[in-house]
Amino acid sequence: MEVIRGVRQMQEKALTVRAAGRSIALVPTMGFLHEGHLELMRVGRRLCDVLVISIFVNPTQFGPSEDFDQYPRDEEGDLQKARDVGVDLVFIPTAREMYPEGFQSVVHVERVTQGLCGTSRPGHFDGVTTVVAKLFNIVGPDVAVFGQKDYQQLTAISRMVTDLNMPIKIVGVPTVREPDGLAMSSRNKYLDQEERASALSLKKSLDLAERMLAEGETDAGVVRQAVESLILEHPHTRIDYVTLCDPVSLEEVTRLGEETLLALAVHVGRTRLIDNRVIRKGTPGPPEGEGAS
């Protein structure tokens, strides 16, 4: 496994790989790797000849009062995990390398970035789509793999790739969870024992909404109320949003249709967690990995 820190070196390496007729899969990450990230890598490994991952805590997707400085980092541990899962190339640029003096360009995706996390994290998705567009230009992957846990991010990136004619296949991977159902996240490290218990309210509320729909409830307001009550019964929780929306346009709905995305962001103590699931009429409790995430 090779570690590359320079943009030019990465670009040259990728050119050599492509010139040899080998396909490239890219898995962008912010590091502090967990099973969710590793699952993305396994998918990328299967789809292409060469597996590239990037580890970059991207400053432009964090707001001024967010956790950029505290974001957990463990380069040594990450490299070991990447090696074990069969990564070929790890791209670890510095912020200076990615955003040199004079940098002033932005890739902005319009409507799908407006609700959900876009409301409480202004500028976040511009940071995401800009850095991902840069990574795509640097690595030139055939396939790029993202988690459905960040559903809105996956939607915005898919939109960007379509709109800007980027010749890259975007693959979404279902959310990997702890045995009790908590979605894996680098930020779970911030939770103390009581908060960890309350964090489970996210997954429980996805189950609740799915049950309500299976029992015939289609009023989005009623489902949202029930979800909010369940979350707020748990100590240390503060709701950022509970949104029922169309899984493609991400526009809010008042009635649950055949497929509805329930997306949540909840502060548990000082940690902001997100989770989501596409809930479907007539299919109570689809197993993880088959559409639910």
CB of 273 to ligand AMP, least distance (A): 11
Q: Which stretch binds ligand AMP (CB under 6 A): 1-9, 117-125, 146-154, 194-202?
A: 146-154
Whose tokens are 């709701």? That residue is 239
Distances (CA, A) of 166 to 83, 91, 193, 201: 29, 20, 44, 38
Q: Binding string, 163-202, against ligand AMP, x = CB under 6 A? A: ----------x-xx------xxxx----------------
149 binds ligand AMP, rule: CB under 6 A: yes
Between CA 268 and CA 224, with CA 171 as vertex, the angle to 5 degrees is: 35
37 in catalytic set: yes
Contact positions with ligand AMP (CB under 6 A) in 5-34: 29-30
The residue annotated as part of the active site, out of 34, 37, 108, 234, is: 37
Which of 126, 150, 195, 275 touches ligand AMP by CB under 6 A? Answer: 150
Smallest distance, ligand AMP to C-beta of residue 40, A: 5
Contact map string, positions 29 to 68, toward ligand AMP, x by CB under 6 A: xx-----xx-xx----------------------------
Give me the residues paired with residue 259 across strands.
280
Measured from the CB atom, is 30 or 85 closer to ligand AMP?
A: 30
Two tokens, residue 10: 């990465």
Which amino acid, one-letter code, is at 220? Answer: A
Closer residue to ligand AMP, CB minimum distance, 40 or 227: 40
Q: Which of 93, 140, 141, 147 binds ligand AMP (CB under 6 A)?
A: 147
Over its C-alpha atoms, the chain yields an Rg (Å, rounded) of: 19
Both tokens assigned to 16: 């050599």
Nearest approach, Cβ of residue 151 and ligand AMP (Å): 8
State which residue, 67 or 217, has the beta carbon closest to ligand AMP.
67
**Beta carbon nearer to ligand AMP, 6 or 72:** 72
What distance in Å separates the CA atoms of residue 179 and residue 246, rounded to the nearest whole number?
Answer: 29
Give the list of residues 6+ apart from residue 289 with CB closer than 8 angstroms, or none: 174
Q: Which two tokens stand for residue 3?
A: 């570690």
Give me the helix-helix angle, 193-214 and 220-232, nearest 10°: 160
Residue 21 CB, shortest distance to ligand AMP, in Å, is 27
Residue number with CB closer to ligand AMP (33 or 209): 33
Tell the smallest beta-carbon distance from residue 253 to ligand AMP (Å): 24
105 - beta bridge partners? none
Contact (CB, 8 A) for 88 and 52: yes
Dihedral through CA 160, CA 162, CA 166, CA 171, nearest 10? Answer: 90
Where does this chain touch ligand AMP (CB under 6 A) — which range of 15-23, 75-83, 145-153, 207-215?
Answer: 145-153
Q: How many residues does the chain have?
A: 293
Q: How far is the CB of 184 from ligand AMP (least distance, A)?
A: 4
Residues ≥6 apart with Cβ < 8 Å to 18: 24, 140
Torsion over CA: 37, 43, 45, 49 (sign):
negative
Return the active site residues: 37
Residues that bind ligand AMP (CB under 6 A): 29-30, 36-37, 39-40, 146-147, 149-150, 173, 175-176, 183-186
